[in-house]
Amino acid sequence: MALIIEVNHLSKKFNDIYAVNDLSFTVNQGDIYGFLGQNGAGKSTTIRMLLTLIQPTSGEINLFEKKLSTHRSQILQQIGAVIEKPDLYKYLSAYDNLSIFAKMSGIKVSKQLLMDQLQMVGLKERAKDYVRTFSQGMKQRLGIAVALVHNPALIILDEPTNGLDPQGIADMRNLILRLSREMGKTVLISSHILSEIELIANRMIIIHKGKKIVEGNVAELLDPAHTFIEIDTLNNTHSKQLLLQSKWAVFLQQHSGMQLMMNKTEVPLLINYLVAMGVQILSVNSSHSLENYFLSLTMQSRHVEAFAN
């Protein structure tokens, strides 16, 4: 399978602070690739380097198996991007916006093709309406139509669901899935709405303070070994001390309460141990989600940093 994005030891330093620090990852052809991290993690900085909007301090970026530093023009012709809120002409219609951006891209397109693009993003019926009358979700979808007008192979979306209501988020999710499944596009999507990434992405990376924490297939990262267990007892402080002195200590999430990350098949053994130790259990809850996994990994990273300092 062809590599669409290959980032090797990428860093970006602003004054004395690393926004991106020795970051490496790959995106394969056909991926919906989730790019995850809390605010300030370095996601937008990385995306801007991919689009040559800012220059790296060090490291290498290869796109479509070519060096970005030496094949910039050729590479950018194959990329469509929506960075934060799309820049649109609000006093022009959706159709006129799309037509103008097509001309700016140096391509000749028919009216039918432009209308097909608007239909693809669900805006055909609003083609003649001024963009200033559009909701934020409609503007985001028009921004994607603009990004697709030159038929790029790679789509980069930076927080595409920002400011959207639940229906707008669902519409965006379905559009991204269509881009991948029906149009064969490779999609890199940065988002803070982790549940959405879990629904659509097949591969992902989590970064924290510019560094990679984990990368891989979503299905493999969210396997039963990463089940979160939360236990409530009559005396959680005492119960946690018991766990800290046992083999179960390695599964404890140290940041709060009686929370463990473990293989769900071991939960009965854990419960048996607590009961044998005289612990009175009130409840046992399990969950398995990208959000829990993300919070666990970033919290672990914070603890490592705190210990190092």
pLDDT-derived band at 59 (thresholds 50, 70, 90) equals very high
Please provide the distance, in angstroms rounded to a whole number, between the alpha carbons at the two ends of the chain: 42
Give the per-residue pLDDT at 264: 79
Give the per-residue pLDDT at 289: 61
227: part of which helix (H) or strand (E)?
strand 227-233
* Residue-wise pLDDT tens digits, 161-209: 887 888 888 888 999 999 999 999 999 999 877 778 888 999 999 898 8
Whole-angstrom Cα distance, residue 273 to residue 223? Answer: 24
Greatest mean pLDDT range, 53-67, 70-84, 97-111: 53-67
- The residue-averaged pLDDT of 144-154 equals 92
Give the per-residue pLDDT at 224: 63
Which tokens sit at 3?
């590599």
pLDDT-derived band at 255 (thresholds 50, 70, 90) equals low
- The residue-averaged pLDDT of 283-305 equals 65
25-56 burial, b at 16+ Cβ within 10 Å, e below that, comes to bbbeebbbbbbbbeeebbbbbbbbbbbbebeb
Give the per-residue pLDDT at 308: 46
Written as one string, the DSSP assignment of 77-99 is TTEEEEESS----TTSBHHHHHH
Give the per-residue pLDDT at 288: 61
pLDDT-derived band at 306 (thresholds 50, 70, 90) equals very low
Give the per-residue pLDDT at 304: 46
pLDDT-derived band at 87 (thresholds 50, 70, 90) equals confident
Whole-angstrom Cα distance, residue 31 to residue 196? Answer: 15
Residue 300 has pLDDT above 90, yes or no: no
Residue 274 has pLDDT above 90, yes or no: yes
Number of neighbours of residue 262 by Cβ within 10 angstroms = 20
Q: Please tell me the least confidently modeled range out of 105-109, 125-129, 135-139, 188-192.
A: 105-109
Shortest CA distance to 284 belongs to which of 301, 298, 267? Answer: 267
Average pLDDT of the chain?
Answer: 87
**Right CATH for 3-220 from 3.40.50.10490, 3.40.50.300, 3.40.50.11060, 3.10.580.10:** 3.40.50.300
Written as one string, the DSSP assignment of 151-209 is --SEEEEESTTTT--HHHHHHHHHHHHHHHHTT--EEEEE-S-HHHHHHH-SEEEEEET
Q: Please tell me the least confidently modeled range out of 89-98, 101-110, 224-233.
A: 224-233
Q: pTM surpassing 0.85? A: no
Residue 220 has pLDDT above 80, yes or no: no
Give the per-residue pLDDT at 154: 97
Do 152 and 102 touch, CB atoms closer than 8 A? no
- More confidently predicted of 84 and 189: 189
- More confidently predicted of 270 and 39: 270
Give the per-residue pLDDT at 199: 87
Describe the crossing of helices 136-148 and 94-104 by its angle, rounded to 10 degrees.
Answer: 30
Residue 136 has pLDDT above 90, yes or no: no
Greatest mean pLDDT range, 4-18, 201-215, 246-260: 4-18
Residue 227 has pLDDT above 90, yes or no: no
Give the per-residue pLDDT at 168: 84
